[in-house]
Structure 1
Amino acid sequence: MPNRKYAAYEPAAPYFDLIRGALGDLVDGEHFFDVITDATIYEVLYEVPGWPRIITGRTTLMAAFRGYVDMIALRSADALIVHRTDDGRVVVIEYEVHGTVLATGVHYDNRFCSVVRIENRKIAHWRDYMDSLAAWNALTARAGK
């Protein structure tokens, strides 16, 4: 994550780097947060305590990710599959993340599928699906298990 203005988000750098790479030349901006606007809708279709189902705008999304990086540190993101549709205006991204729940030291491994709609070379809408059971198991496990 070369941009130091996002240093507080370093624990999620593997995710941000994977997503930015997946979107490639379809968007403008060096970092994930650079391709988010004040009008971007970030929608998650699962329940995670403390994480809203719909987040609107860059500032609100950055605040949500502050909570994420306070809870989980990622060591890698991989298994990337990118499907470009609708002449690149819609991108479906499949990927995995691997990290550690900071409070317990429990390993966190999850799979995601994200549907991204791009307008004016920025993310207009993000719809996220994940393995909710994997998240639940990691976030509710006690250390040593």
Structure 2
Amino acid sequence: MPNPKYAAYAPAAPYFDLVRGALGELVDGDHFFDVLTDETVYEVLYDVPGWPRVINGRADVMAAFRGYVDNITLQSADKLVVHTTDDGSVVVIEYEVHGTILATGVKYDNRFCSIVRIENRKIAHWRDYMDSLAAWNALTARARG
């Protein structure tokens, strides 16, 4: 059964489930937020209005995702490819997400590559790359008429 303390984040569940599954037994915790610490650095190497380039700590990552789920609902996440290096201390994951921009009803499809450094069975650092043009097109498209 899903943890009720994360119920507000249900619109991003496909992403959280895919990531948690990709990290498997390398980390401890049931939910994506459970594998973060107060020292986790979540870095994105792209500019999206309202989304910081560097987020420090679990509470701030959760706050950023709260804004995400207020604007986008994901229907699925797929095409997962996992590359494990350095005896499992670094994991590179490639994946896609598919959803809807809530304000406009426009479809949102994007590709990501995330480099995850693990320390003490938790995420120490997350570096994210995405298809910025796909995000821009979805976020700036006109509402369905």
Matches within 5 A, 1:57-136: 57-136=57-136
| 2:22 equivalent in structure 1 | 22
Q: Which runs of 5+ in 2 are unaligned?
A: none
The one-letter code matched in structure 2 to 1:127 is R
1:37 aligns with 2:37: yes
| Residues in 1 aligned to 2:84 and 2:2: alpha-carbon distance in whole angstroms | 26
Q: TM-score, normalised by structure 1?
A: 0.99
**How many angstroms does 1:144 deviate by?**
2.2
| Residues in 1 aligned to 2:125 and 2:63: alpha-carbon distance in whole angstroms | 18
Structure 1 moving runs of 4+ over 4 Å: none
| Residues in 2 aligned to 1:144 and 1:15: alpha-carbon distance in whole angstroms | 25
| 1:53 equivalent in structure 2 | 53
Q: TM-score, normalised by structure 2?
A: 0.99
| Residues in 2 aligned to 1:101 and 1:125: alpha-carbon distance in whole angstroms | 28
Q: Aligned-residue CA RMSD in angstroms?
A: 0.9
**How many angstroms does 1:135 deviate by?**
0.2
| Residues in 2 aligned to 1:80 and 1:3: alpha-carbon distance in whole angstroms | 24
**How many angstroms does 1:76 deviate by?**
0.1
| 1:139 equivalent in structure 2 | 139
2:40 aligned counterpart, secondary structure: strand
Please give the per-residue CA displacement for 1:62-83, whole angstroms capped at 9, x wherever unaligned.
0000000000000000000000
The one-letter code matched in structure 2 to 1:72 is I
Q: Percent identity?
A: 82
1:38 aligned counterpart, secondary structure: coil
The one-letter code matched in structure 2 to 1:99 is G
